[in-house]
Amino acid sequence: MEPYNPMAHIFLPILLFSSIISTNIHACNQIEHNSLLSFTLTLSSSPLNWTSSVNCCQWNGITCNQDGWVTHLLLPSEELKGGIFPSTSSLGNLTHLTHLNLSHNSLYGSLQTEFFSFLKHLEILDLSYNLLSGELPLYLPSSSIKKLDLSSNQFHGAIPSSFFQQTRNFISFNVSNNILSGPFPSSICLKHSSRLTRVLDFSSNKFNGSISRGLGECSELRIFRASHNNLSGFLPEDIYNATKLEELALALNSLIGAVSDRIVNLTNLAILDLYYNQLSGVLPLNFGKLSKLKQLNLDFNHLEGALPPSLMNCTNLIEIHLASNNLEGDISTLNFSKLSELSKIDLMTNEFTGILPISLYSCRSLKAIRLIENYIEGQIQVEILSLKTLSLLSLSGLTNFTGAMKILMRCKSLRTLILSYSFKGEEMPADSGMVDFDGFQNLRYLTLYHCELTGQMPLWLSKLKNLEILSLKGNRITGPIPSYLGTLPKLFCISLADNLISGEFPKELCGLPRLVHEPTAAQVVDDYLELPIFTAAAQNPIFYPRRLSNFAPTIDLSLNHINGRIPSEIGKMRLLHNLDLSINNFSGNIPNEISNLKNLENLSLSMNHLSGQIPSSLASLSFLKSFNVSYNDLEGPIPTGTQLQTLNASEFKGNSKLCGSPLPNECLNKSINVDNKNHLVLDNKHQIPWFYIFFALGFIVGFWGVCGSLIIKKTWRYTYFQFVDNLQDRLYVMMTVHMRRRLRG
Ligand SMILES: *[C@@H]1O[C@H](CO)[C@@H](O)[C@H](O)[C@H]1NC(C)=O
Ligand SMILES: *[C@@H]1O[C@H](CO)[C@@H](O)[C@H](O)[C@H]1NC(C)=O
Ligand SMILES: *[C@@H]1O[C@H](CO)[C@@H](O)[C@H](O)[C@H]1NC(C)=O
Ligand SMILES: *[C@@H]1O[C@H](CO)[C@@H](O)[C@H](O)[C@H]1NC(C)=O
Ligand SMILES: *[C@@H]1O[C@H](CO)[C@@H](O)[C@H](O)[C@H]1NC(C)=O
Ligand SMILES: *[C@@H]1O[C@H](CO)[C@@H](O)[C@H](O)[C@H]1NC(C)=O
Ligand SMILES: *[C@@H]1O[C@H](CO)[C@@H](O)[C@H](O)[C@H]1NC(C)=O
Ligand SMILES: *[C@@H]1O[C@H](CO)[C@@H](O)[C@H](O)[C@H]1NC(C)=O
Ligand SMILES: *[C@@H]1O[C@H](CO)[C@@H](O)[C@H](O)[C@H]1NC(C)=O
Ligand SMILES: *[C@@H]1O[C@H](CO)[C@@H](O)[C@H](O)[C@H]1NC(C)=O
Ligand SMILES: *[C@@H]1O[C@H](CO)[C@@H](O)[C@H](O)[C@H]1NC(C)=O
Ligand SMILES: *[C@@H]1O[C@H](CO)[C@@H](O)[C@H](O)[C@H]1NC(C)=O
């Protein structure tokens, strides 16, 4: 408490009184009044309530100075629509304006240099999140400008070389998320320009070429972002002179060269975000001097060598992302125990060796560990249970399946468990020792990919009431598909492909609540994954969005020994997007009811023993993108409809009695066109090794084994283009990018 001050009692009423007087005194200037009114007329829809008073200084969003001049016009998120800023805009009459904030509206048009030249006193200009377009004006409006935010518009062209010339006090500049191009304006802090600049955000544009020297002059620079452009060349050497930098973000460009030892000069650096470039070389040995570092993201580069041990001295680290590089070294020599803030560590797809470092278990804040696709080995230790918040775990090279499951099922927060290339040839015990199972309470995403596990599908899977995605692709699982799978309330994505599963397609599976009823699907909480996931395809990895709801509802049972008929109940799974039953031993007809699956995008029934005709109702599946019935015993005409005729003939081949477009053989009146020339006998699928070769490739390519293709929801796409402000989500999205990785089997 401040000491009692008797003056305050007297002073306060005076203050109030004078402020009442002053609003009356500061009546608004007539020209400005009219200008503001004509501004509202330029808006095609104006929800502004500005007619209520004569004094425009009292209007919503307006502040005047002592003399009644309008100084602030603040109308963010007012649902303003319309074309503004022609050179004759009435706003140009507000010559005393210092603050103009029209962000988050739907204003369009371009910024005219002439118009700007009237606003000589402008200090803060925020036009972000509008629909403005055209090129940038030749000059910034005034030498007093401090903050300029033009982000999330559609400005294009290069930044004029004269743009920053008049600035003296320029502090913050944000043009992210536009279509600006041309050379990067490195000279922003040189000569005439201001050296006070603290924030520069050029992300998500199309700037190209290399970043020339100049930024080193920005001695006050705190935040520098130019991620997601087309920048090439080396990191500018003088960037290390901007020693006040707290965030350096140049991800998703084509930068080359090494991260220099001089980076340790940036002692204030908290965020280093250079993922997806072509950086090479080793990480600086004295990296540990960056004691304020919180986020390190160098995913998808060509870095090599070992991790500098000093990294373990960066005790403020929250996230380490070094996935998909050529890093190596014995990981168990690193002692992580000082990283008490560490929340995420992703070293996926490198060449690290050694055993799983136990010291990781002392990082009590860990939420995500991903070490998959390295040469790291080991067993899950019970100490992992001290990681109370662990939500995502992704490892390979493990042994002792039963031991691992018994421990991990007690990880209360675990939502995503991805284990691959582990447990080679171990047996999944039917249930011994897991009878009183109530573990994995929060597990939503379980993948045991390419583990060559034997045995039948274990009964404890039936207890995973929160499971949404299950992939057991690439094992040696035998026995039938258990019918309890159909009772898991949240399951919507199943891959059991490439196993030795036999028996029939269980009818119960067709009752999966999330594939049957829309309401159930809507009730599910939409979860985020702690780390981005991607299919590490040879050339173009696809980054999946991190919401589980963006995965496509899928049933993939391909490459097994399933026999019997495809049950007609399959038509109940109305929400299914992908159905793959290829390379099995299904016989009988293709059930007519498949045409009830109105959302179906991909349907593969190839390499079975299906007979009869293709139901004509299939032609009504309007979302169907791929359809493959090759190598069965189908006959008769291919149904005519919009979709099926656009497909490749190869999707139908190997059915000697099938006819009509897109196959070359026309349908004669009666099917006498049996031409045994084309007939491939497929009683034993092992007769066609070429197919296996192709298929094996397919598996390597899609080795994450997640479900099917991605549905990009409209809202999600919007989020992407609006460049959501989360360090990770920002750009880790459906970018089909080159992945210069060797493949591992
Ligand atoms: C405002 O400026 C425009 C163009 O500069 C001018 O034509 C107009 O007369 C001015 N006054 C008002 C009240 O709009
Ligand atoms: C318009 O302004 C008047 C006076 O300022 C106020 O009473 C009224 O509620 C406002 N109307 C709306 C829709 O904001
Ligand atoms: C403009 O207004 C929005 C919404 O109130 C605010 O978030 C933003 O910081 C403002 N811009 C500036 C530059 O102050
Ligand atoms: C720049 O604007 C975008 C929104 O368009 C925002 O997400 C980002 O955080 C801003 N940059 C800085 C450095 O504030
Ligand atoms: C930048 O892009 C423009 C147009 O796309 C092109 O003409 C120019 O050569 C590019 N510059 C560099 C350095 O790649
Ligand atoms: C980036 O620049 C290169 C050449 O400078 C060009 O070939 C490529 O198309 C550009 N990429 C984009 C996304 O503009
Ligand atoms: C960095 O700054 C120092 C001194 O301020 C200067 O001598 C040096 O040339 C600068 N380095 C670069 C690469 O600009
Ligand atoms: C940068 O680091 C070098 C040594 O790596 C040192 O000589 C130099 O003085 C440092 N510069 C600044 C500005 O800290
Ligand atoms: C880590 O820091 C400690 C104390 O600050 C220091 O003694 C040690 O040499 C550092 N380790 C490395 C590898 O830099
Ligand atoms: C790691 O360092 C801690 C002290 O920071 C020490 O107690 C622990 O024994 C070390 N662990 C290993 C495996 O070296
Ligand atoms: C498997 O793990 C369990 C639990 O950690 C352990 O008790 C058992 O000894 C392990 N078995 C082998 C063969 O290492
Ligand atoms: C395929 O199913 C038929 C019965 O439909 C059966 O006779 C045959 O043995 C099965 N083949 C294999 C390889 O399972």
Give the SS3 label for residue 514: helix
Residue 191: band (very low, low, confident or very high) from pLDDT cuts 50, 70, 90:
low
Average pLDDT over residues 650-678: 71
Buried b or exposed e, range 177-203, using 16+ CB within 10 angstroms = bbebbbbbbbbbbbeebbebbbbbbbb
Q: Would you say residue 217 has pLDDT above 60?
A: yes
> Could you tell me the distance, in angstroms and rounded to a whole number, from the CA of residue 582 to the centre of ligand 8?
63
Ligand 4 neighbours by CB, cut-off 6 Å: 128, 151-152, 174, 176-177, 199, 201, 223, 225, 723, 725
Q: Which of 180-184, 358-362, 695-699, 707-711 has the lowest mean pLDDT?
A: 695-699
Q: Which of 13-17, 136-140, 361-365, 538-542 has the lowest mean pLDDT?
A: 13-17
Residue 578: beta bridge partners? 554, 602
Lowest mean pLDDT among 51-60, 87-96, 612-621: 87-96
Question: Is the C-beta atom of 611 inside 6 A of ligand 12?
Answer: no
Taking Cα atoms as reference points, which of 519, 398, 496, 490 lies closest to residue 447?
Answer: 496
For residue 617, the SS3 value is helix
Q: Closest ligand to 100 CA?
A: 3
Distances (CA, A) of 165 to 75, 112, 183, 529: 29, 17, 17, 45
Q: What is the pLDDT of residue 546?
A: 77
Can you give the pLDDT at residue 171? 92
The helix (run of H) or strand (run of E) holding residue 225 is strand 223-225
DSSP category for residue 536: -
Count Cβ atoms below 10 Å from residue 693 Cβ, excluding itself.
10
Question: Which atom of ligand 7 lies at the shortest distance from residue 237's CA?
Answer: 13
Look up residue 76 and give its two tokens.
Answer: 């963010």
pLDDT at 88: 62
Position 714 pLDDT exceeds 60: no
Given the CA of residue 585, which atom of ligand 12 is nearest to it?
1
**Does ligand 1 lie within 6 Å of residue 41's CB atom?**
no
Structure-model confidence comparison of residues 191 and 427, the more confident one: 427
Give the number of the ligand closest to the Cα of residue 78: 3
Nearest-CA residue for atom 6 of ligand 9: 313
Is residue 369 within 8 A of residue 394, CB to CB? The reply is yes
Q: Is the pLDDT of residue 325 over 70?
A: yes
Give the HSE-up count for residue 50: Cα atoms under 13 Å, Cβ half-sphere: 22
User: HSE-up of 512 (CA within 13 Å, CB side)?
Assistant: 30
Interval between CA 65 and ligand 7 midpoint (Å): 44
Express as a percent the part of the chain with pLDDT over 90.
55
| CB 57 within 8 Å of CB 118 | no
Q: What average pLDDT score do residues 617-625 get?
A: 82
Q: To the nearest 10°, the Cα dihedral for 382, 385, 391, 393?
A: -10
The pLDDT assigned to 17 comes to: 42
Strand 43-45 versus strand 81-83 pairing type: antiparallel
**Residue 65 DSSP one-character state:** -
Planar angle of CA 521, 522, 526, nearest 5 degrees: 95
Give the pLDDT mean for 88-117.
Answer: 86
The pTM score is 0.84
For a substitution probing ligand 3, which of 100, 101, 125 has the most ligand atoms within 8 Å of its CB? 101
Q: How far is CA 114 from the centre of its chain?
A: 41
**Is the beta carbon of 61 within 6 A of some atom in ligand 3?**
no
In short, whether 611's Cβ falls inside 6 Å of ligand 9 is no
Q: What is the mean pLDDT of residues 544-572?
A: 89
Which atom from ligand 9 is nearest to the alpha carbon of 309? Answer: 13
* Three-class secondary structure of residue 610 per DSSP: strand
* Residue 527 banded pLDDT, cuts 50, 70, 90: confident
Average per-residue pLDDT in the chain? 82
Position 206 scores a pLDDT of 95
Q: Which ligand is nearest to the CA of 95?
A: 1
7-16, 41-50, 54-63: least confidently modelled range: 7-16
From ligand 8's centre to the CA of 244, what distance in Å?
13
Q: How far is the CA of 366 from the centre of ligand 11 (A)?
A: 24
- Alpha helices by DSSP H, 159-309: none
What's the 39 CA to ligand 1 centre distance in angstroms?
11
What spacing in Å lies between the alpha carbon of 44 and ligand 1's midpoint?
A: 20
**CATH class of the domain whose range is 15-157:** alpha beta
Ligand 6 midpoint to CA 518 (Å): 43
Q: Which ligand is nearest to the CA of 262?
A: 8
pLDDT at 673 > cutoff 50: no
pLDDT band at 742 (very low <50, low <70, confident <90, very high): very low
**CA 125 to chain centroid:** 31
- Measure the CA–CA gap between 372 and 356, rounded to whole angstroms: 11
CA distance 120 to 144: 8
Burial class (CB in 10 A: 0-12, 13-18, 19+), 419: buried
User: Which amino acid is located at 454 in the chain?
Assistant: T
Six-digit token string for 428: 């999944």
Phi/psi for 153 (5° steps) reads -130, -160
pLDDT band at 545 (very low <50, low <70, confident <90, very high): low
Strand partners, 710: 551
**pLDDT at residue 734 above 70?**
no
Average pLDDT over every residue of 626-650: 85
- The encoded tokens of residue 542 equal 């696809």
Q: Which residue puts its alpha carbon closest to atom 13 of ligand 3? A: 126
Predicted pLDDT at 646 = 80
User: Atom 5 (ligand 9): residue with closest C-alpha?
Assistant: 313
Mean pLDDT of all residues in 216-235:
94
> Ligand 3 within 6 A of 123 CB?
no
pLDDT at 680 exceeding the cut of 80 = no
Give residue-wise pLDDT tens across range 399-453: 999 999 989 999 999 999 999 999 988 998 877 566 566 789 899 999 998 999 9
Distance of CA 422 to the CA centre of its chain: 27
pLDDT for position 520? 60
Is residue 632 within 6 Å of ligand 1 at its C-beta? no
Q: Looking at ligand 7, which residue's alpha carbon is closest to its atom 5?
A: 241
**Smallest CA separation from ligand 5 atom 14, residue:** 209
**Is 540 exposed, middle or buried (CB count within 10 Å of its CB: 0-12, 13-18, 19+)?**
middle
Look at 377 and 639; give whichever has higher pLDDT: 377
Q: Whose CA is nearest to atom 12 of ligand 6?
A: 230
Highest mean pLDDT among 77-86, 108-117, 535-544, 625-634: 625-634
Judged against a pLDDT cut of 90, whether residue 551 lies above it is answered with: no
Q: 193 with 217: CB under 8 angstroms?
A: no
Write down the pLDDT at residue 681: 37
Q: What is the pLDDT of residues 267-312, one digit of tens each?
A: 999 999 999 899 999 999 999 999 999 999 999 999 999 999 999 9
Contact partners, residue 216, CB within 8 Å, separation at least 6: 236, 237, 238, 239, 240, 241, 242
**How far from the centroid of its chain's Cα atoms is residue 328's Cα?**
27
pLDDT score recorded for residue 741: 31
Q: Domain 468-721 carries which CATH code?
A: 3.80.10.10
Q: Which pLDDT band holds residue 705 (cuts at 50, 70, 90)?
A: very low
Alpha-carbon gap, residue 474 to 455, rounded angstroms = 13
With a 6 Å cutoff on the Cβ, whether 355 touches ligand 10 is no
Instruction: With a cut of 70, say whether residue 397 has pLDDT above it.
Output: yes
Does the structure show a pLDDT above 70 at 692?
Answer: no
pLDDT reported for residue 459: 87
Asked whether 81 and 102 are in contact (CB, 8 A), the reply is no
The response to whether residue 209 sits with its C-beta less than 6 Å from ligand 5 reads yes
State yes or no: pLDDT of 105 exceeds 70. yes
Question: Using CA positions, which residue lies closest to atom 2 of ligand 3?
Answer: 76
Report d(CA 543, CA 21) in Å as an integer.
Answer: 61
Ligand nearest to the CA of 314: 9
Please give the distance, rounded to the nearest whole angstrom, from the Cα atom of residue 386 to the centre of ligand 4: 37
Q: How far is CA 112 from CA 20, 85, 92, in A?
A: 39, 7, 11
pLDDT band at 735 (very low <50, low <70, confident <90, very high): very low
pLDDT at 150: 96
Ligand minimally distant from the alpha carbon of residue 147: 3
Strand partners, 70: 64
Q: What are phi and psi of 114, to 5 degrees?
A: -60, -45
Q: Of the residues 222, 724, 725, which should be mutated to test ligand 4's pocket, given the most ligand atoms within 8 Å of the CB? A: 725
542/3: higher pLDDT: 542
What average pLDDT does this structure show over 44-64?
82
What is the length of the chain?
Answer: 745
User: d(Cα 721, Cα 728) in Å, to the nearest integer?
Assistant: 14
Ligand 2 pocket mutation, candidates 52, 54, 57, criterion most atoms within 8 A of CB: 52
**333 has a pLDDT exceeding 50:** yes
Burial zone of 54 (CB within 10 Å; 0-12 exposed, 13-18 middle, 19+ buried): exposed
pLDDT at 369: 96
What pairing do the DSSP bridges indicate for beta strands 344-346 and 81-83? unpaired
- Residue 160 one-letter amino acid: P
Whether ligand 5 lies within 6 angstroms of the CB of 233 is answered as no
Q: Which residues line ligand 2 (CB under 6 A)?
A: 49, 52
- Which of 190, 215, 217, 238 maximizes ligand 7 atoms within 8 Å of its Cβ, making it the mutation to test the pocket? 238
Looking only at the bridges linking them, the beta strands covering 247-249 and 445-449 are: unpaired
The residue whose CA has the least distance to atom 1 of ligand 2 is 49
Output the six-digit token pair for 375.
């040469």
Best probe residue, ligand 10, of 335, 360, 363, 383 (max atoms within 8 Å of C-beta):
335
Mean pLDDT of 381-397: 95
- pLDDT above 80: residue 736: no
Is the model's pLDDT at 731 over the cut of 50?
Answer: no
Counting runs of H as helices and runs of E as strands, what totals does the chain give? 8, 46
Q: Is the pLDDT of residue 631 over 90?
A: yes
Task: Report the nearest-CA residue for atom 13 of ligand 4.
Answer: 201
| Separation CA 395–CA 399 (nearest Å) | 11
pLDDT average, residue stretch 131-135: 94
Q: Does any ligand 9 atom lie closer than 6 A to the CB of residue 285?
A: no
- Which residues of the chain are in CATH 3.80.10.10 domains? 15-157, 468-721
What is the predicted pLDDT for the residue at 123? 93
Quote the tokens at residue 487: 């009772």
Consecutive H or E run containing 305: strand 302-305
Can you give the pLDDT at residue 196? 87
Q: What is the pLDDT of residue 51?
A: 75
| 344 residue type, one letter | K
Which ligand gives the minimal distance to the CA of 504?
Answer: 12
pLDDT of residue 543: 66
291 lines ligand 9 (CB under 6 A): no
